[in-house]
Structure formats: structure tokens, C-alpha cells
Amino acid sequence: MNELQAWGWEEFFERQVKHFRGFDVARVCSEHKRYYKVWSIYGELTSKVIGKLLYDAVDRCDLPAVGDWVVIKARPREASATIHAVLKRRSSFLRFKDGELQVVGANIDTVFLVFSLNVEPDLRKVERYIAAAYQSGVKPVVVLSKADLSETPEEIKSKVLSVSTAPVHVVSVFKESGVDELKRYFCEGKTIALLGPSGVGKSTLINYFLGEKRLAVAAATADGQGKHTTTSKQLLLLPSGGLIIDTPGMRDLQLCDLQAGLDIAFQDIQTLAQSCRFADCNHEAEPDCAVKNAVSEGQLSLERLLNYKKLLQEVAEKRLSHKSLRSKKYLSSKSLPDLNELC
């Protein structure tokens, strides 16, 4: 495996650069206003996008984001470069910020959805994040952090497992428990992103994996909450191979108009629905509704069903509102992750 491949370069990107001659490729590792740090065969370069790319950009999604592969003209002696194109993304996490769609991270294979055990995680949020991950073409893994601050970590884990089609891990960096199990998701050339509210211990976890205190971590607070320390996204190379993206805390993730992602996240409801009398059952007042029956028999929680309906509604609304957005190209036609593969 060459250097580029170790950073995630693959055939999917290779195909896109056939017609670029005299250029190099690089991966964006961080973003600072309109400057980007990129990894290239010349080392790390500070780069700027060319005017045409800025001019042609309809929204922020058209500009480079952390994790993107870009086409560059390098000036190795000055350790700088200009970015001429952003290659099509294999996957991307999106969110709405300041009224526009933004890419939180690009070309991610696996996402660790981190929730701290110092309070019981909001199961509805867990469901939402999982659905958003599947929709983005990324495999989710739920990480319940700070197990040392909870008296009942295993109990909370089983509650989370009951709403999760993704694996769930209980970890404590302070006690060094459970963390090594997460290493099985590291694979050379594959990118993991950490998402979750700020203060849950994402940067601490990454420092543990890096084996050094590379990232700033919030000073401990009495309530175990932590505060906002990570201010920008950053792509890092793991010593064991593989890549990891640290993100600042995020309240919410954007769902996109890919119903299939929801279907995977709520596979239990999908399966039940196959036994409803009507194929297009809305699980409202229809007779012989297997989903409602499961709720009344206590097999399915009403909150989970209501959240599923709410997310469905949101997806339907997105579909309408994104019709006018050119960035629709980032929202649909994404392939779903292969759930059987670990790496």
C-alpha cells in the first residue's frame, strides 16, 4: 500500500482524475477559513481554492471539506498549493448551519457516535444519529463513553441496544476499559469520524488511540460535562493504520432524503410492517396493524414508533425542500454501507 492509499485513495477517486494532467491529488486534513491543509506526496501543504472554483460554487458543499480528495497544483518549495477541483465524495455527513448545507466530513467509512454515560443518552437522538449515518453511506458504531461515571453502564447499554441496529460499546478512557475493542474498526486506508455533543470525550478518545496528547481536551468539570474545546475538524493518521476525524461537538445531524437509511435504522419496524394487513399501512388507525399490535403487547416502544414517524416526516419534508437545491446531488443516490463488512 502506498502513501496515498494509506490515506484512503482508491479506485473510485482514481477514475475521476484520468483527465487531469500535470496535477497532483491531496487529501484535506483541516480547514481554516478559506485555507486548507492538505496531505500530498510533497508533505503537508497550505492551500487555497482557485477563483473559478469559488465562483462556480453554489453552496458550501461544492467547496472542500475535511476528508475530501482534491486536485492540486503544488508548489512544494513553498509548502503551498492551489486547489483546482474537489473529487466526488464516496460519503459525506451533512448539516445545516447558518442557513446553508455544509459537509461535516467527507469520505468516511465508519462513524463513532459518542454519547457520555454520565447522563442517560437520549434514545431518540441515538436513533436519529444512526439513521443519519446509514443515509450518509457510513457504518455507525455507538460508543457510550465515561463508563466510570455511571453506576449502571450495562443497563444503559441494553437500553441503547434495544433501539440500535448498530453495534454498541461501553468505554472509559480513564479506566482504559472497552477502548481496545474499538480498534477492530481501524483499517488501513479507512476513515473513522467521531461525532457527538461536545464534552463527551471524543478528543480524549482520539488522544488515547494516537498514544499521545495531541488534541486539546476540556478541563475536567465537577459534573462530568466537559466543555467546548475542539474548534475545528481535523483528519489524523492512526499509528496502527487508518484515519480518524475529530469534530467539534454537534447538536444535530442532518437527515437527508434517503428513506433507505431510515429503513435500516428501524429494521424491526420494517419487519413488523410486513405483517400489517395493508402493504401501505401507516400504523395509525388501520385494522390488523402488526406494528400497533407490537406496541400494545410491549414488544415495541411507543416512543420508538413515534420517533420513526417523526423522522419519516422530516425526510419527506427534506425531499420537498431539496428539490430546489442543486446540492441534491449530495443528498441522494448514495450507496448504503455494506453492513456485513467490518472494515
List residues near Mg ion by CB under 5 A.
202-203, 230
Contacting residue, 217, 276, 281, 290, with ligand GDP by CB under 6 A: 217
- Whichever of 26 and 289 has its CB closer to Zn ion, that residue is 289
Residue 281, contacted partner among ligand GDP, Zn ion, Mg ion, none, CB below 5-8 A by kind:
Zn ion
Q: Which three cell numbers stand for residue 184?
A: 477492530
- Long-range pairs for 160-163 at CB < 8 Å and ≥24 separation? 160/115, 160/121, 160/123, 160/126, 162/301, 163/123, 163/126, 163/127, 163/301, 163/304
Alpha helical stretches, state H, the chain: 3-6, 11-14, 51-56, 123-135, 153-161, 202-210, 259-265, 267-273, 290-296, 302-322, 328-331
Contacting residue, 30, 102, 165, 229, with ligand GDP by CB under 6 A: 229
- Whichever of 172 and 203 has its CB closer to Mg ion, that residue is 203
DSSP string covering 206-266: HHHHHTS--S--PPP-TTS-------S-EEEE-TTS-EEEE----S-----S-HHHHHHHT
Beta-strand pair 43-49/80-86: parallel
- Whichever of 10 and 286 has its CB closer to Zn ion, that residue is 286
String marking each residue 242-281 x if it binds ligand GDP according to CB under 6 A: -------x--------------------------------
- Whichever of 206 and 291 has its CB closer to Zn ion, that residue is 291
Nearest-approach distance from CB 240 to Mg ion, in angstroms? 21
Q: What share of the chain is helix, strand, coil (3-state, %, to 5)?
A: 30, 25, 45
- Whichever of 101 and 173 has its CB closer to ligand GDP, that residue is 173
Nearest-approach distance from CB 288 to Zn ion, in angstroms? 8
Nearest-approach distance from CB 200 to ligand GDP, in angstroms? 4
Q: Which three cell numbers stand for residue 97?
A: 448551519
The type of residue at 271 is: T
- Whichever of 79 and 179 has its CB closer to ligand GDP, that residue is 179
Nearest-approach distance from CB 221 to ligand GDP, in angstroms? 7
Nearest-approach distance from CB 173 to ligand GDP, in angstroms? 4
**Contact between 85 and 42 (Cβ < 8 Å):** no
Residue 173, contacted partner among ligand GDP, Mg ion, Zn ion, none, CB below 5-8 A by kind:
ligand GDP
What are the residues whose beta carbons fall under 8 Å from the beta carbon of 148, sequence distance 6 or more?
172, 174, 175, 177
**Contact between 64 and 70 (Cβ < 8 Å):** yes
Residue 283, contacted partner among ligand GDP, Zn ion, Mg ion, none, CB below 5-8 A by kind:
Zn ion
Of the candidates 178, 126, 181, which has an alpha carbon nearest to the alpha carbon of residue 154?
Answer: 178
Q: Report the DSSP beta bridge partners of residue 237.
A: 243
Residue 234, contacted partner among Mg ion, Zn ion, ligand GDP, none, CB below 5-8 A by kind:
none
Find where cell 403487547 sits: 297
Binding interface with Zn ion (CB under 5 A): 276, 281, 283, 289, 291
Q: How far is CA 204 from CA 176, 198, 299, 313, in A?
A: 11, 11, 38, 36
Of the candidates 101, 106, 102, 104, which has an alpha carbon nearest to the alpha carbon of residue 86?
Answer: 106
* Cβ-closest position to ligand GDP: 226
Q: Which three cell numbers stand for residue 60?
A: 458550501
Residue 291, contacted partner among Mg ion, Zn ion, ligand GDP, none, CB below 5-8 A by kind:
Zn ion
Residue 254, contacted partner among Zn ion, Mg ion, ligand GDP, none, CB below 5-8 A by kind:
none
String marking each residue 172-211 x if it binds ligand GDP according to CB under 6 A: xxx-----------------------xxxxxxx-------
- Whichever of 8 and 201 has its CB closer to ligand GDP, that residue is 201
- What is the contact surface with ligand GDP in residues (CB under 6 A)? 145-146, 148-149, 172-174, 198-204, 217-220, 224, 226, 229-230, 249
